[in-house]
Amino acid sequence: MGNARVSDNPDERDVFQALADPTRRAILTLLQQGSQPVGGIARGFPISRPAISRHLRILREADLVTETIGSRITATCGSTSSAISNVMSK
């Protein structure tokens, strides 16, 4: 049994796929302290900024984070996330 790969199709992506990666979970933990620019998020990880941007895209597509004008990223975890609410209601 191999690791499941996150779908490249945003319509097939769900909150569980987004949360399956430890880097994405760490990003969400970081964002619980408040919104941050992408560069600030990237500085906290030993991977490239483009890799962080890909992780953020997956989190955005799963409705776990939002991006505002000026490239600040905010976590929408917990009850404010429609993705989390949808999962919890099933």
pLDDT in tens, 45-86: 999 999 999 999 999 888 888 887 766 677 654 434 555 555
25: left (phi over 0), alpha (psi -120 to 50) or beta: alpha
Predicted model pTM? 0.71
**Token pair in block for residue 35:** 């919104």
SS3 of 74, please? strand
The structural domains of the chain, ordered by start, are 12-83 (1.10.10.10)
